[in-house]
């Protein structure tokens, strides 16, 4: 997983282009709720306080493989995304992604076989 710097920015740009997300209007997360798990998306956290969102499992195999979700924060709060037992960091399956309390913290996920694999995380920790 890339950690910041120009390499992380390049990866974001490449992902946005490859999966067509760059042509999507960003969806703003300003209230607690659920992130759509069935469609690719580019989400921007704009909530003034801490955002606490959930993310369900992606759809079943075939239709659910390869969905990319990118979430970035414009606010300096420790936002959380909870996807109980669904986040695969490459070393463990975890429940919660917590954004550092800095604008610019970013998380990119790709669906695979009913789970969310972490493509990269910049300023995001997992538990």
CB 82 within 8 A of CB 54: yes
Would you state the pLDDT for residue 15?
Answer: 63
Residue 2, classed as helix, strand or coil, is coil
Would you state the pLDDT for residue 59?
Answer: 86
Would you state the pLDDT for residue 24?
Answer: 73
Would you state the pLDDT for residue 2?
Answer: 41
Would you state the pLDDT for residue 38?
Answer: 86
The CATH number of whichever domain residue 82 belongs to comes to: 2.60.120
Mean pLDDT per segment of 10 residues, for the chain of length 127 residues? 46 64 82 92 95 93 79 97 96 96 95 92 96
Number of domains the chain contains: 1
CA 76 vs. chain centroid, Å, equals 17
Parent domain of 16: 5-126
Taken in order 95, 100, 102, 107, the sign of the CA dihedral is negative
Would you state the pLDDT for residue 60?
Answer: 80
């Amino acid at each position: 997983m890339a950690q910041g710097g120009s390499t992380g920015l390049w990866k974001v740009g490449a992902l946005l282009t490859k999966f067509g997300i760059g042509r999507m209007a960003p969806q703003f997360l300003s209230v607690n709720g659920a992130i759509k798990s069935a469609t690719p998306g580019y989400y921007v956290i704009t909530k003034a306080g801490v955002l606490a969102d959930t993310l369900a499992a992606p759809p079943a195999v075939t239709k659910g493989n390869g969905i990319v979700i990118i979430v970035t924060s414009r606010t300096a709060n420790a936002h959380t995304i909870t996807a109980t037992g669904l986040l695969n960091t490459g070393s463990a399956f975890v429940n919660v992604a917590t954004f550092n309390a800095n604008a610019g913290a970013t998380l990119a996920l790709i669906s695979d076989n009913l789970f969310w694999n972490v493509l990269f995380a910049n300023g995001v920790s997992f538990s």
